[in-house]
């Protein structure tokens, strides 16, 4: 087995094996579990760096394994995959640190971290999948391994959320499977390829291909939480904060969005998809989601629910970018895949901090939180501004590219969609900031768990991650022109997807 085959497997193993070991550990063994987690996360980061380097240099990391004649599990590290994998790996490290702090002396930690690792494994698999079948395998693994995390608290409320989550994702999975089987039947394989594979079929298949596209997008739209398939996301907010942060801001929803990117670019091929007139409906679908999510967010008092609906809206930026025919939109969408992740995870970390430190769960309880927890609130503000697309933040960059993309594709209405969404974002984030910074401190917090030590407004493991990700948000916004940013990478991808088209 060559190192080209080993590294992708190692990337999976670096979270799978620790996960399995952790299941076996007694809850008491905090030290062992913690170090195992952290080292695994760092190790994975190293491996990913190795891959990044290789892929940038055009090397070909991949491994295949046949489960049936003509049906292969196949992993392949390509530029698009690396975008997602890097994001997950980096954020996983911080989330792990955060989770360690968050779950201190709570029960069932081994189970939690075990499934947590499985989820990350699934995410890695999704991003490295080289065909739809492999993608589906890890997609379902993600569904299964998130369920225990959603219901982690074991309350009836958690159970309800978990059941709804399952109902949506399993139905989605079935739709996806139907599409995949059908496609596999027509093509004999489902390997991803630049410029797509579906075009190989003659025009007489156009009808079938449209239905398949619908099935696939429906299946993925569930995890992407596109309206009307978004119902599970707010319900799933019963999960502990780290879960909401990594899974429902990054892994799960992004898995869906990422899948849509794969479908459009590497299964159908953007040109062919355009010729089938599939992109416009997709764009409309996305736009509706964007506006609807923002509108619903306005009326949520529960902080995490508001963030959840914001996620619903923001993730569809990616889909919109993909659906805007043309490289600029593509770059916008892809770069937002990363930026939204960084910003939203910051917000969830902060929300978790408020809840853990002061017992704040509702927007209406936020008064004066900024005085008590300035650093957290600072990070929160940066994330929120990013979401609105304020200058100097990562949000500004992706929004700019999306708008240019819309104009380039001469879909001016999309521009309006984006602006409306920005205004709505402002409408539901600014009040929070205002309350936090400018309203007086209440006599007593809902329930203060963690007292203040000098400058440390809360446990440092809870504080560090949001600060780092907030900093990253600013960095991605300010240094966007340097060639180590997600933007640069997104351009690289766009070049590869639009074979023979000039990319700015």
Partner 1 sequence: MNEPLIDPLVWLILLPLAWATLAFVLGPGRGGWLAIAGLVAQCWLAFNLAQQVSAGVAVVHAVGGWGAPLGIDLAVDGLSAAMLLLTQTVALPLAIYARSYFKASDPAGAGFWPLTGFLIAGMNALFVSADLFNLYVTLELVGLAAVGLVAAGGGAQQVAAALRYLFATLVGSGAYLLGVALIYGVYGTVSIATLLPLVTNEVPRLVWIASALIVSGLILKTALFPFHFWLPPAHGGAPAPVSALLSALVVKASFYLILRLWLGPLQSVLPAFGWLLALLGAAAIFWGSWQAIRAVKLKRLIAYSTVAQLGYLFLIFPLLAAPAALQAAVMQAFAHGLAKAGMFAAAGVLIKATGQDTVAGLAGAVERLPVTMFAFALSGITLMGLPPSSGFLAKWQIIQAALAQGHWIIVVVVLAGGLLAAVYVFRVLRLGFLSTPENVTFTPVSRVLEWSAFALAAASVLLGLRGVELIQLLGART
**Angle, helices 3-24/30-56, rounded to nearest 10 degrees:** 160
| CA atoms of 328 and 394, how far apart (whole Å) | 17
108 counts as binding partner 1 under rule CB under 8 A: yes
333 counts as binding partner 1 under rule CB under 8 A: no
| CA atoms of 101 and 308, how far apart (whole Å) | 23
Q: Pick the piece of the chain touching partner 1 (CB under 8 A) from 80-88, 160-168, 296-304, 444-452.
A: 160-168
Among 34, 178, 274, 420, binds partner 1 (CB under 8 A): 178
Among 17, 71, 284, 474, binds partner 1 (CB under 8 A): 71
434 counts as binding partner 1 under rule CB under 8 A: no
Whichever of 173 and 466 has its CB closer to partner 1, that residue is 173
Q: How far is the CB of 173 from partner 1 (least distance, A)?
A: 8
Residues 6+ away with beta carbon under 8 Å from 410 = none
170 counts as binding partner 1 under rule CB under 8 A: yes
Whichever of 66 and 423 has its CB closer to partner 1, that residue is 66
Among 8, 18, 101, 162, binds partner 1 (CB under 8 A): 162
Query: Which residues in 268-327 contact partner 1 (CB under 8 A)?
Result: none
208 counts as binding partner 1 under rule CB under 8 A: no
**Angle, helices 206-224/156-187, rounded to nearest 10 degrees:** 160
Whichever of 148 and 259 has its CB closer to partner 1, that residue is 148
Whichever of 133 and 292 has its CB closer to partner 1, that residue is 133
Under a CB-based contact definition with an 8 Å cutoff, are residues 235 and 225 in contact? no
204 counts as binding partner 1 under rule CB under 8 A: no
Under a CB-based contact definition with an 8 Å cutoff, are residues 298 and 474 in contact? no
Whichever of 201 and 298 has its CB closer to partner 1, that residue is 201
Here the contacts of 182-188 (C-beta below 8 Å, separation 24 or greater) are: 182/208, 182/211, 182/212, 182/215, 183/132, 183/212, 183/216, 183/267, 184/71, 184/132, 184/133, 186/212, 188/70
Q: How far is the CB of 33 from partner 1 (least distance, A)?
A: 15
Q: What angle do CA 238, 13, 337 make, to 5 degrees?
A: 55
Rounded (to 5) percent helix, strand, coil in the chain: 75, 5, 20
Whichever of 123 and 314 has its CB closer to partner 1, that residue is 123
177 counts as binding partner 1 under rule CB under 8 A: yes
Q: How far is the CB of 81 from partner 1 (least distance, A)?
A: 19
Q: Which of 176, 168, 252 has its CA nearest to residue 214? A: 176
Binding mask 120-159 for partner 1 (x = CB under 8 A): -------------x--xx--xx--x---x--x--xxx--x
**Site size for partner 1, by CB under 8 A?**
35
Residues 6+ away with beta carbon under 8 Å from 101 = 459, 460, 461, 462
Read out DSSP for 7-35?
A: HHHHHHHHHHHHHHHHHHS-TT-HHHHHH
187 counts as binding partner 1 under rule CB under 8 A: no
Residues 6+ away with beta carbon under 8 Å from 144 = none
| CA atoms of 424 and 402, how far apart (whole Å) | 17
Q: How far is the CB of 497 from partner 1 (least distance, A)?
A: 27
Q: How far is the CB of 159 from partner 1 (least distance, A)?
A: 6
202 counts as binding partner 1 under rule CB under 8 A: no
Which H helix or E strand runs over 73? strand 71-77
Q: How far is the CB of 321 from partner 1 (least distance, A)?
A: 30
Query: Which residues in 456-485 contact partner 1 (CB under 8 A)?
Result: none
Interface positions with partner 1 (CB under 8 A): 23, 65-69, 71, 73, 108, 111, 133, 136-137, 140-141, 144, 148, 151, 154-156, 159, 162-163, 166, 170-171, 173-174, 177-178, 181-182, 184-185
């Amino acid at each position: 087995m060559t190192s080209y085959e080993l590294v992708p497997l190692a990337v999976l193993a670096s979270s799978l094996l620790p996960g399995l070991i952790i299941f076996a550990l007694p809850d008491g063994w905090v030290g062992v579990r913690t170090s195992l987690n952290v080292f695994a996360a760092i190790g994975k980061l190293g491996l990913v760096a190795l891959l990044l380097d290789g892929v940038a240099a055009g090397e070909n990391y991949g491994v295949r394994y046949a489960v049936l004649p003509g049906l292969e599990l196949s992993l392949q590290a390509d530029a698009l995959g690396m975008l997602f994998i890097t994001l997950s790996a980096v954020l996983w490290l911080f989330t792990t640190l955060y989770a360690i702090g968050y779950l201190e002396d709570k029960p069932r930690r081994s189970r939690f971290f075990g499934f947590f690792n499985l989820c990350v494994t699934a995410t890695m698999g999704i991003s490295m999948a080289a065909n739809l079948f492999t993608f589906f395998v890890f997609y379902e693994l993600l569904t299964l391994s998130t369920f225990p995390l959603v219901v982690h608290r074991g309350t009836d409320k958690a159970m309800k959320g978990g059941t709804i989550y399952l109902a949506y994702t399993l139905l989605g999975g079935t739709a996806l499977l139907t599409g995949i089987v059908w496609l596999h039947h027509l093509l004999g394989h489902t390997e991803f390829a630049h410029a797509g594979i579906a075009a190989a079929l003659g025009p007489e298949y156009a009808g079938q291909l449209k239905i398949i596209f619908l099935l696939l997008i429906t299946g993925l739209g569930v995890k992407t939480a596109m309206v009307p398939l978004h119902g599970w996301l707010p319900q799933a907010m019963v999960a502990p904060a780290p879960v909401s942060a990594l899974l429902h801001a990054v892994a799960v929803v992004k898995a869906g969005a990422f899948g849509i990117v794969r479908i459009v670019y590497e299964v159908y091929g953007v040109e062919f998809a355009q010729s089938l007139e599939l992109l416009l409906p997709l764009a409309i679908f996305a736009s509706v989601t964007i506006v609807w999510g923002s509108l619903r967010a306005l009326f949520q008092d529960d902080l995490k629910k508001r963030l959840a609906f914001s996620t619903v809206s923001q993730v569809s930026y990616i889909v919109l970018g993909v659906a805007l025919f043309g490289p600029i939109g593509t770059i916008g969408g892809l770069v937002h895949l990363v930026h939204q992740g960084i910003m939203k995870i910051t917000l969830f970390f902060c929300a978790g901090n408020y809840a853990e430190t002061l017992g704040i769960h509702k927007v209406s309880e936020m008064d004066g939180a900024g005085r008590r927890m300035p650093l957290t609130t600072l990070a929160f503000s940066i994330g929120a501004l990013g979401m609105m697309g304020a200058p100097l933040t990562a949000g500004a960059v992706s929004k700019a590219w999306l708008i240019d993309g819309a104009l380039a594709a001469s879909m001016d209405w999309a521009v309006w969609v984006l602006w409306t969404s920005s205004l709505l974002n402002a409408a539901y984030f600014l009040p929070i900031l205002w309350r936090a910074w400018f309203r007086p401190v209440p006599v007593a917090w809902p329930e203060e768990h963690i007292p203040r030590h000098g400058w440390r407004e809360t446990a440092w493991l809870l504080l560090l991650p949001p600060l780092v990700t907030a900093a990253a948000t600013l960095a991605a916004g300010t240094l966007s022109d340097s060639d180590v940013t997600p933007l640069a990478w997104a351009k690289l991808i766009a070049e590869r997807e639009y074979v023979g088209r000039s990319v700015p």
